[in-house]
Structure 1
Amino acid sequence: MELRVLNYFVAVAQEGNMTHAAQKLLISQPALSRQIADLEDELGVKLFSRKSRRLTLTPAGQYLLEQAKEILALTAKTKSNLESSSFISGDLTIAAGESIGMQRIMNVVSAVIKEHPTVKIHLLSGDYSYAERKLTNGTVDFAVIIGDAPTPNYASLTLPEKDTWGVLMNTSDALVKQEMITPQDLAGRSVLNSQQAVNFHTFQNWLGNYKEKVNFIGTYNLNFNGTLLVKNNAALMLTLDNLVNTSPGSGVTFRKLAPQLQYPIKVVWKREVSLSPVAELFLKLLKESIF
């Protein structure tokens, strides 16, 4: 597969129409149709089906679209870094979940872009599995991992900050009167849990005998939408401290857990892989901010 043809395929998938894609790409519609047909022949699968004059992706086409975007993004990033390797420029890409440790990282990023204004920053938000996948396929320079997940295949740097678990609740909830929340307090309550916490069984030991008495109504990956449920007084939410605005008038407040439950924060990158000049600078400044 040629990169040029992958670009053609992505354009057709995004437009859902061969004529519109051809106009966007500045090539003829018959030539574009032939390139897509040749790609399907090469791969031995159908990538599109036609429904109501619109091209829709088949399951194979959807898979190729996801992979093609990753390949094209990695290609563009590599090209940019190679073209600017003689000075500090290019792209710095970081995948991260929501964490108090991001303030330190953003302080370092701010120092980089102030000193080197041609640097382009790309911040991708997602949980552990998302950040690890992006790091593995090479489309990010660094991933910020929150929690005790093992990282044997990566080099890592542990930040001094720690994320502390607690409960986000509506300010009208009776639990607001308590300074900290115990497992017993959650018995019989509707609770929204972090998907990452579910994957790593974060609360299994903490809840102890109360595990089966909590009504877990679902999960979230990032805080914003879950916070809306809390504001509607529909559920409590297990989340990390300092991620949600709990100022007067916000409608929500936060209480830490007892016994306390904390997460370490690590910045990880591929071991034995040469970093670009801007990634090297970021890592140097991050280490200097800690040691």
Structure 2
Amino acid sequence: MELRVLQYFLAIAREQSIIRAAQSLHLSQPTLSTQIKNLEEELGKQLLIRGTKGSRKVTLTEEGMILRKRAEEILDLVKKTENEVSLNDDIVIGDIYIGTGETDGIRILAQTAKLLQDTYPGIRYHILSGNSAFVMEQLDKGLLDFGLIFGTVDLTKYHSLKIPSKDVWGVLMPKDSPLASKEAVSPSDLWGKPLIISQQENKGGKIIEWLKHPESDLNIVATYNLIFNASLLVDEGLGYAVGFDKIINTSGNSRLCFRPLTPALEEEMNIIWKKYQVFSKPAEKFIEKLQDILSSFS
């Protein structure tokens, strides 16, 4: 399987048309069709569903969708590797890829990047958002340099540095909500209330356990992947969003407020990277600077 052919396949997936993909690639349609047919024969799977004569649109089969995802990951990794290898030893220029959930804890990573900026202005940072499972999957595939995750770390696979702050769980609600008069929200306060919780917690996480109520009896009206989107649902009166503090600005003219949970529920954070990982020069400078910053908290 050649990288060039994977690029051809992704062009077809993007354009949903062999004709338009051939034009974008500056190839003839028969040449491109032959390359994709050979790829299908090599894999022993049909990757595209060709339209009828009246429709030139092509769609991906299930196997085609799998290949599209993997091809994007492969080509991203190739590009990342080429950039790292091609740089001069005396120059620190390149990309750092960091995966993280939504958390105020990312501020310490931003502070690290800012301190490096004056000395190494050629470093670029790419932040990918996702839950811990997503971050570790991307780390394992070599698509991330570092991950910021909550909870315990598998020290057999990763090195880690503890972030000297914790995220506090609480409830985002309108300022005129009956619960807004409370200093903190207890489990029974939320029984029967329309709840908006994260997709990860909806699968039986700490919040479900903290609520101390049969999950089937909870009134979960929505789930979210990004707390900003959840805040819009709250602002429109759909329900109460359970999430971390300091992510949504509730000061000034905001119609929302945040109340912590009681009993308190907090999450520790760690920045992790794969064991035996060979760092690029930018990643090496980044982790050195981060270690210096964290040592000042000791």
Q: Post-superposition shift, 1:202?
A: 0.7
**Quick one: structure 1 residues 279 and 237, their matched pair in 2 at CA, closer, same or farther if it must change by over 3 Å?**
same
Provide TM-score, normalisation by structure 1. Answer: 0.95
Q: Post-superposition shift, 1:164?
A: 0.4
Q: Secondary structure at the match of 1:176?
A: helix
Q: Secondary structure at the match of 1:164?
A: strand
Provide TM-score, normalisation by structure 2. Answer: 0.93
Amino acid at match of 1:80: N
Tell me the distance in 1 between the aligned counterparts of 2:204 and 2:282. Answer: 33
Give 1:214's match in structure 2, choosing from 202, 213, 218: 218
Q: Secondary structure at the match of 2:142?
A: coil
Q: Secondary structure at the match of 2:197?
A: strand
Percent of aligned pairs with the same amino acid? 37
| Contact 1:99–1:146 (Cα < 8 Å) also in 2 | no
2:258 pairs with 1:254:
yes
Tell me the matched-pair count.
Answer: 291
Q: Secondary structure at the match of 1:145?
A: strand
212-221 or 37-46: bigger deviation: 212-221
Q: Secondary structure at the match of 1:98?
A: coil
257-266 or 25-34: bigger deviation: 25-34
2:22 pairs with 1:16:
no
62-71 or 86-95: bigger deviation: 86-95
Q: Which runs of 5+ in 1 are unaligned?
A: none
Give 1:70's match in structure 2, choosing from 68, 73, 77: 73
81-90 or 230-239: bigger deviation: 81-90
Q: Post-superposition shift, 1:50?
A: 2.3
Give 2:61's match in structure 1, choosing from 58, 62, 76: 58
In structure 1, the partner of 2:201 is 197
Q: Post-superposition shift, 1:208?
A: 2.3
* C-alpha distance after superposition, 1:7-28 (max 9, x if no partner): 1111111011112111211222
* C-alpha distance after superposition, 1:219-262 (max 9, x if no partner): 21211211111001111011000011112322211000111100
Q: Post-superposition shift, 1:146?
A: 2.1
Give 2:249's match in structure 1, choosing from 239, 245, 249: 245
Matches within 5 A, 1:1-291: 1-51=1-51, 52-84=55-87, 86=89, 87-148=91-152, 150=154, 152-199=156-203, 201-209=205-213, 213-291=217-295
Q: Secondary structure at the match of 1:160?
A: strand
Amino acid at match of 1:247: S
* C-alpha distance after superposition, 1:253-276 (max 9, x if no partner): 100011110001111111012111
Q: Secondary structure at the match of 1:163?
A: strand
Q: Which runs of 5+ in 2 are unaligned?
A: none
**RMSD over equivalenced CA pairs, Å:** 1.6
